Structure 1
Amino acid sequence: MDLERELARQPTCMEVFLKTHKKKDGSFVDSRSQTLHQQMAERVTQAYQPSVEGGDSQSLFTDALNEIYYDVVGGKTKNSTLYGLGSQEKVAFDCLRNPADRASSSSSSEMQSLRRENQELRTQLKSIDERMTDMDQWRADEEKRRSDEEKRRAEHDKSNDDLMAQMRQIVANFTPGVTWF
């Protein structure tokens, strides 16, 4: 049985336990296995209960699931093995043997989580940056449009002023000595 290859990741103790203590028909090999599974399921359910403050379920990492398993089976036996894991104990539960490995495994899980979060934030930042660039371009286009409009109005006003000056000149030529406006 190579559960690690089957799952494409390191299995939890609970996964190893279920794989080795269930028959093909899905029933447990003995009553102790069924009882331990029920206890583990209850603990996992409790761990998933929403917190009073946030209302969100907390996610359980592999280490937390392994801790629940360790607590439910009662720790290591007299010969320093964990009940229910057999030869898979080393694969599934190395992190409890050596606290440094455990921290490393936890740090690795946290690091993966942080990397995913970092990537999500980078994606969001890129989207926001693109929107800001679009807004800057729109603002520049709008300022140019307003500037062009002001120039057009100024030219129009100057043209009107020039036209009025010409009309005054024409009127003054027809009526010498009379000031009309």
Structure 2
Amino acid sequence: MLFFIFCKAEELGRDPTLDEVFLKTHTKKKDNSWVDERAQKTYETYQGKLQQASKNGEASSSCSQVVNAEARLDMWVQSVGGKNKGRIYGAGDRSSLYRPGVASLVPDSRPSRGCVNVLSQHSTEIAAQIAAFEERAKAAEHEAREAREELRKAEQRRQEDDQRTKELQIQLATLAKSVASIQAESSRRRRHPDYDEDESNDDDSDE
């Protein structure tokens, strides 16, 4: 939040007011709607007080030119019901900086333009590191996909080998049954009585 405040200060040429920061940090970027009902009611209450305090009674951006910064900050504190357990709603960690008559809750120590440039450079470096990490992640994902494909092919080959083995086993079993059947039929013919009779007749004719 402080980085946003410092950037906003450079943009405006002055410290942003607490309500300006609140409006930015408590609305959604997608549609500028409030993050919750409390935020909306707080801001509306504050705007009502600001309108009453303005000379022309207009609740517009011109009010900031009419009501000084100290009064605006006091109005905000009043709108949120003062401090609660040492904190002011919307001020966060900067609540400890509030005193009656204080014009801003922006810390005195702020980054210079050079420091902002360093932060910007640091952000660029972080972005580059993120991009490099994403590239490594893509490469790792590609390798993982190739490994999964190799495993799939290996599994498919194993299944095909198993299928061929089963077919060979069936063929061998069928062949074994055929051989056993032939052997049984041959044995049965050798033991048949007609064969014995024929052999006896042959003996008699010889005599």
| Structures share fold, TM-score greater than 0.5 | no
Tell me the TM-score normalized by structure 1: 0.44
Tell me the TM-score normalized by structure 2: 0.39
Larger Rg over CA atoms: 2
